Amino acid sequence: MKVIAHISDLHISKSTFEDEVFFKAVDEINDLSPDFILLTGDITNNGYYSEFQKAMEYFKNFKPPLYAVPGNHDARHVGYEVFEELIGQRKWVLREYKDLTILGLDSSVPDLNNGHIGRPQQTWMEDEFDKCLKESTFSIVAMHHHVIPVPKTGRERNVLSDAGDILQSVIDYNIGMVLCGHKHVPHLWKMENTLFIHAGSLSSIKLRGKNVNSYNTYFISDDSVDAVLNRVGGDKSSLGKFSRI
């Protein structure tokens, strides 16, 4: 079984980040001992170099390996360049785990809130999906922006501008999971055989309604996927358990 922790939307800054909540989440995730952590963007609030530097210091507290993609806030103020310097590539593929392939996509656009994948990145994604089909591996896509609108998040304005094209590719290739952040509201959609799962904000004060800081965990066995919502310092609840196709 593979165990994955999914965190998102830290918004590290002087005004929007709760470091006490962050360290509480770190302890919980380290105690869980997941195989790795996926971070789906908005590491920083403004894309400033100093915020990324702070993030690198904070990340040292995690024991499992962490893989991240940028969010719209990370692409502000030339933050997309800083991301590559301090965090790593903005798109990547991970094949280190048996029977599991994870693709990280960059959905950010410099200095804009809306998301876009683009045809070149989509073509690269589809080429990687072809390999997954040939190797019969369970595939996961991680990106910041949501492909499908999320309930209880207000007026829709920041979904991927090419959401239809990306959705078609994901469904056609029978992708197991698409993991997103951005809206700060945890949610799960199931379309065809694909789970579209959104994480809440791990450690920012930018929360909607009665939502609290949270993260998701996924338990992936040979025959099922169990998605769990974890409220930082609080209880857990099931987002759903599904059979693997």
For the domain that residue 169 is a member of, what is the CATH number? Answer: 3.60.21.10
| Cβ-contact 104, 40 below 8 angstroms | no
154 vs 215, more confident: 215
User: Model confidence over 177-210: pLDDT tens digits?
Assistant: 999 999 999 999 999 999 999 999 999 999 999 9
User: Model confidence over 157-170: pLDDT tens digits?
Assistant: 778 999 999 999 99
Beta strands per DSSP E along the chain: 2-7, 36-40, 66-69, 92-97, 100-104, 138-142, 177-180, 187-191, 194-198, 214-220, 224-231, 236-243
**Vertex 94: Cα angle to 88 and 100 (nearest 5):** 155
pTM over 0.85: yes
| Cβ-contact 44, 58 below 8 angstroms | no
3-state class percentages of the chain: helix first, strand second, coil last, to nearest 5: 25, 30, 45
Total count of domains within the chain: 1
Query: Which uninterrupted H or E stretch holds 30?
Result: helix 19-32
Domain enclosing residue 223, as ranges: 2-243
